[in-house]
Amino acid sequence: MKFLYYNFLIALIFTSSIYAQQVNNTQFKTKTLQVYQNLDKNKVPHGVLLDFGMEFTNLQAFNGALTDSIHVGSQTLSDIYKTLLMSRVRQVNTGFITPEEYATVGKYNETKAL
């Protein structure tokens, strides 16, 4: 019984320390804002500047030309969306939905396709 109690106590301490380790790293955002602080964001045509955001995938590969080497699966599409979402410099585009809504719509479309 004592052995189970100690194991439970160790597991409780271990799991609480795991959750305590979550820290938001804002270095990328801070450095990006410093670089583009003098940019007139109103002159960005559609409010999206690819150099402003973190790239999850290479968007230049998706230039409209069909090639055999480009496969767009659900993960690639999600990466494209995240890249475009992070590259917004101002709230012009009303077509962007939140990542949570995007995940919900993606799950709905996957179940609908089955």
Residue 23: which pLDDT band, with cuts at 50, 70 and 90? low
Domain range for 106 is 25-113
Q: What is the pLDDT of residues 35-62, one digit of tens each?
A: 888 988 888 888 888 888 888 888 888 8
Residue 73 resides in a domain: yes
Is 18 within the bounds of a domain?
no
Domain for residue 15, yes or no? no
Confidence (pLDDT) at 82: 86
Residues 6+ apart with CB under 8 A from 70: 61, 62
Please state the pTM of the whole predicted model.
0.60
User: Tokens standing for 87?
Assistant: 């590259």
Phi-psi region of 64 (alpha: psi -120 to 50; beta: other; left: phi over 0): left
Domain contains 3 = no
Please classify residue 86 by burial: count the beta carbons closer than 10 Å to its beta carbon, then call 0-12 exposed, 13-18 middle and 19+ buried: middle
With cut-offs at 50, 70 and 90, classify the pLDDT of residue 14.
low
- For the chain, the domain total comes to 1
Angle value at C-alpha 56, between 51 and 60, nearest 5 degrees:
60
- Looking at the domain assignment, is residue 70 inside a domain? yes
Handedness of CA 47, 52, 58, 60 (dihedral sign): positive
10 within a domain of the structure (yes/no)? no
Cα–Cα distance for residue pair 73/94, rounded to 1 Å: 25
Residue 14 belongs to a domain = no
| 54 in Cβ contact with 28 (< 8 Å) | yes
The reply to whether 50 falls in a domain is yes
Q: What is the mean pLDDT of residues 53-80?
A: 82
